[in-house]
Amino acid sequence: MKVWTKLLAVLAILAMVSAVNAADKKAAKAEKKAVLRGQVVKVDGTKVVINSGKKNNQKEVTVETDDKTVVTIEGKQGKLADLQPGQRVVVKPDTGTATSIEVPTPKAKKDAKQGAAQ
């Protein structure tokens, strides 16, 4: 009887731990999706206008910023005024006031990789 009680307790603990793990993964996945991607159209004071969406369904979105918004340009800290039209950006979160605006480092083109290999 004591063995069954201990086994049941261990199984209950494992079930709880796996449920918490699953909830953490869902939260991390939702947080990853909560970004706005697009290209800078213009910077207007404390607002950034970007084109967002698929090529055939783009829309202009105005992103509000404040003094706490962190701007990162290709891995280096920048300012809102440093953003240039045409730059690809990732804005977090996708709604409300932006907490971060990142210009990722551009990926190397396939032609450049092939040329370097030869």
Strands (E) in 45-86, as ranges, are 47-52, 59-64, 70-73, 76-78
Give whole-number Cα distances, 62 to 34, 46, 69, 114, in Å.
16, 10, 15, 39
pLDDT value, residue 53: 84
Q: What is the CA angle 47-83-56, rounded to 5?
A: 80
Question: How high is the pLDDT of residue 108?
Answer: 73
Neighbours of 50 (CB within 10 A): 26
> Along the 118 residues of the chain, how does pLDDT read in single tens digits?
688 888 888 888 888 877 777 766 665 555 556 888 999 999 998 999 999 988 788 899 999 999 999 999 998 999 999 999 999 999 998 888 999 999 998 877 665 555 555 5
Q: What are phi and psi of 100, to 5 degrees?
A: -150, 145
Tokens of 82: 């440093």
What is the pTM (predicted TM-score) of this model? Answer: 0.62
